[in-house]
Chains A and B, each alone.
Chain A
């Protein structure tokens, strides 16, 4: 749990006029951390990041310093940094805010990481639909070049760094790190088999670190205030604060920066965050870490929004996307929406995923429309298991984790809300009638 008073460090400037400009960032002490880091040996920088307990904020939560240490120091090949700004997991919208409102914080993290890793070229891969965030980021890069932060020297140091924005073109799978590299290489985004891991064989066959936007935005704070300070903000195994994205049927959805001890209940009901449920509604279910994270029931929400605590509940902190469903929401229809997403976004490389994800979707549609048969539930469970068994998390039958992501919601919804699925089949209709979307279904 946090041992120091909480303060937002990533989102602190959001809402301030021109928070995205270099001028504003410098007035807040921006790029001072880079100056400090440039006076350190690269190995010492990596050690500091390790000590900070910074874990990746893209979904997997892998320790950042450890990932950086996997890059071979004596490789004759050029090394690359690829920033994963392909934010596409339903329920997740935090990186967009960093890119729009404080891109220099991420750019400073990029410069520190690049210096530590011996990287001279960084590509920021931004999802294609993010036209405005990509423009803001490009403007910030232009400012950084003009100010001598990027280019032939980095703040006067004998170290050159180029940074380019590459926009994707609409494929969720490109958020998977090896698919992202394939896409950066100008190909369709088919994930690669691992090993070898990108740290050794990545972009253009060279050592490459792939880091999420929020992860890199966190790096300057490790150096501006020290790794001990950063580590103490979090838990024993995970330092810093966390951006969580609250959506669904709550009074005040949004992106909130929280300490790792904040529970889901607090996030939904606290006045600082979600301000509770709409009048007359109760929480029915919560997806705690992006649409792929197994769903939790209303009686399981006093759990901290951090990696280890959620793992104990057999779910994931994932990408930080907390989706709240109220008591008038139909769980079959909610799952169908999630399943449809994975079917649409499957890259088609692995048979269990290519065939299984649309099969799940068809079965769920059939059940939701009251055409389901009793045997469909076992069939649905079997189809999901053929993509990825449950538990454990992360041992699916596909090359990448999209298979797990597609199967985990099915397993967890079936486990926790089986009665609703059965009711659809027995009653031969949706028990929620024509308003399966809860309080906000009457869009107007």
Chain B
């Protein structure tokens, strides 16, 4: 027998979250809750397991294909389990002018990963503009923002990741 998708605690959070999301939309527009519902699922499981997407689709009264279509369009959804820490490095123009390419190269060497790769601990990605252009260079680790980065500051941040 397949393992259940959620623990009982997760199930409670999921049910309450879905109810809250659906309360924000007209009753005949349940499908509008797709983005927040996928986010809820990802917050609970760390990624979007196919059975989870099917469950979201059922609650939103759409086909599972529709849920997958949306999930695969947006870069913040993980269609497979990422590393424990997802590092998104901005290398767009303003950050690049402050050395973001060098920062990414440093991270690649330090983590032993090329941008786009993952291991159990880290997923390293090159991303497009995190709106921190005035405090460049910057990156996000699991959606937590870090800016005005120097090598020392970055080393310090990485050292705190267990």
Contacts and interface: CB of A to CB of B under 8 A. Distances in A.
Contacts of A255: 134
A171 B74 contact: yes
Interface string B104-141: 00100000000000000000000011111111110010
Given A183-B35, A186-B33, A437-B101, A130 B93 contact: no
A437 B38 CA distance: 39
A185 B31 contact: yes
B97 A321 contact: no
Given A186-B33, A340-B128, 15 more contacts: A88-B128, A93-B133, A93-B134, A123-B24, A129-B88, A131-B143, A166-B24, A169-B39, A188-B74, A204-B26, A247-B94, A249-B98, A253-B94, A341-B92, A341-B128
B97 A440 contact: yes
The 7 A-B pairs with the shortest beta carbon distances in the complex, nearest first, are A443-B99, A186-B34, A169-B74, A188-B73, A247-B133, A443-B102, A170-B76
B50 interface: no
Nearest to A255: B134
22 contacts: A88-B128, A89-B129, A90-B129, A123-B24, A132-B145, A166-B35, A167-B39, A169-B39, A169-B75, A169-B76, A185-B32, A186-B31, A186-B35, A187-B31, A245-B133, A249-B97, A323-B93, A338-B92, A340-B128, A344-B128, A443-B98, A444-B151
B99 A187 contact: no
Residue of A92, A325, A337 ringed by the most chain B CB atoms within 10 A: A337
A418 to B, nearest CB: 20
Contacts of A169: 35, 38-39, 74-77
A48 interface: no
B102 A337 contact: no
Contact of B92 (A90, A127, A171, A442): A90
A131 B34 CA distance: 18
A248 interface: yes
Contacts of A63: none
Nearest to A173: B73
B121 to A, nearest CB: 21
Contacts, number: 165
Contacts of A185: 29, 31-32
Interface residues of B, number: 50
A337 B101 CA distance: 11
Interface string A311-335: 0000000000101010001000110
Interface residues of A, number: 64
Interface of B: 24, 26, 29, 31-36, 38-39, 60, 62, 69-70, 73-77, 88, 91-94, 96-103, 106, 128-137, 140, 143-145, 150-151
Contacts of A440: 97-99
A108 to B, nearest CB: 21
A202 to B, nearest CB: 13
A131 B144 contact: yes
Contacts of B101: 437, 443
A150 B103 CA distance: 45
A87 interface: yes
Interface in A324-373: 325, 329, 333-334, 337-338, 340-341, 344-345, 347
Contacts of A333: 96
B133 A129 contact: no
Given A185-B29, A186-B70, A291 B130 contact: no
A418 B99 CA distance: 25
A230 interface: no
B75 A171 contact: yes
Nearest to B29: A204
B96 A128 contact: no
Given A166-B36, A443-B137, A88 B75 contact: no
A127 B151 CA distance: 28
A232 to B, nearest CB: 29
A443 B103 contact: yes
Contacts of B60: 186
Given A128-B74, A187-B70, A443 B151 contact: yes
Contacts of B136: 247, 253
A130 B94 contact: no
A441 interface: yes
A131 B131 contact: no
Contact of A345 (B38, B128, B133): B128
Nearest to A324: B97
B128 A187 contact: no
A128 B130 CA distance: 10
Contact of A92 (B26, B70, B133): B133
Contacts of A321: 133
A341 B127 CA distance: 9
Contacts of A128: 39, 74, 76
B32 A184 contact: yes
A158 B14 CA distance: 35
